[in-house]
Structure 1
Amino acid sequence: MSNEFFLLAPTAFQAFKVGESNPKKAKRIVYGQATSDANGIATLYFTVNGLANGNPLLTTIDYAVSSVYSTNSSINARPRVQMREKNVAAKYVSANVTNISGVTVLGISVLGSENPVSGILVDFMILGSFDS
């Protein structure tokens, strides 16, 4: 098994799978961060130049997760993140960032609604394949 570390933006780690039926196929883990826009959407482009028009670092996306960090003491004000899209061309992933607003009774939110939150930093981790 061979491992290769390299620096790109976003950060990536590459591992070659032993016994792969196609020896030119390799797995790559990509990590990156993106900030949510006014619609509460955070999009990470994992291309060579980090832009939508760049060449992708992956051929396929096998798995992707997103997470957000918050220290806000109010449960309603804490941002929540959920995966929105894994791009078919393997150039980007996106996530929705929301929080809850509504009426609070005895510390419990009732009749709440989810609203988009902008300016939240979202962490993404993507596992994918590429042809080496």
Structure 2
Amino acid sequence: MSIELFSQAPTALQVYKAGDPNPKKIKRIVYGQATSDANGIAKLYFTDNGLANGNSLLQTIDHATSSVYSTSSTINARPRVQMREKNVTAKYVSANVTNISGVTLLGIKVLGSENPVSGIVVDFMILGSFNG
């Protein structure tokens, strides 16, 4: 097995297996961060220039995850992240960032709703393939 590290934004780790029956098929792990916009959407472009018009580092997205870090001690103030989209052209992934608000009754939040949160940094990890 060979592991190759190369520096591009976002960071990528490339793995390919010696003796693979399809030696041109290479798995690549891409890590990157994106900040949520006013609609609570964080979108990470993993292209050679980090923009929508760039060339994708992948041909297919096999798996993607997102996570967010919070130091808030109030559970309702903590941002929540969930995957939104794996782009079919394998150029980007996106996630929704929300928090909960609602009416407090006897010290318990009830009738809560999820609201978009902007300015939250989201970590993405993507596993994909491309033909080398």
Q: Normalising by structure 2, what TM-score?
A: 0.96
Whole-Å Cα distance in 1 between the matches of residues 98 and 22 of structure 2?
A: 41
Runs of 4+ in 1 over 6 A off after TM superposition: none
Q: State how 1:62-81 maps to structure 2 within 5 Å.
A: 62-81=62-81
Give the structure 2 partner of residue 114 of structure 1.
114
Give the Cα–Cα distance (whole angstroms) in 1 for the partners of residues 69 and 107 of structure 2: 22
Tell me what 1:55 maps to.
55
- Structure-2 separation of matches of 1:19 and 1:110: 58
**Deviation readout 1:43-94 (Å, 9 max, x if unpaired):** 0000000000000000100000000000101100100000000000000000
Answer whether contact 1:12 1:30 (CA < 8 A) is retained. Answer: yes
Segments of structure 2 that go 5 or more residues without pairing to the other structure are: none
Question: Whole-Å Cα distance in 1 between the matches of residues 109 and 27 of structure 2?
Answer: 43
Count of residue pairs brought into register by the alignment: 132
Q: State how far apart, in whole Å, the 2-side matches of 1:52 and 1:30 are.
A: 16
Q: Which amino acid aligns with 1:20?
A: D
Superposed, which structure 2 residues align to 1:78-89 within 5 Å? 78-89=78-89
> What is the CA distance between 1:22 and its match in structure 2?
1.3
Structure 1 runs not aligned, ≥5 long = none
TM-score between both structures, scaled by the size of structure 1 = 0.96
Instruction: Look up the match of 1:100.
Output: 100
How big is the shift at 1:2? 1.1
- Other structure's SS at 1:23 match: coil
Report what 1:33 is aligned to.
33
Determine what percentage of the aligned residue pairs are the same residue: 81
For 1:113 and 1:85, how far apart are their aligned partners in 2? 22
Pairwise CA distance, 1:109: 1.7
Task: Provide the rounded CA distance (Å) in 2 between the counterparts of 1:30 and 1:106.
Answer: 46
Aligned to 1:46: 46
Question: Alpha-carbon deviations, 1:9-36, whole Å to 9, x = none?
Answer: 0000000034433110000000000000
Tell me how large the CA RMSD over aligned residues is: 1.0
State the shift of 1:106 in Å: 4.1
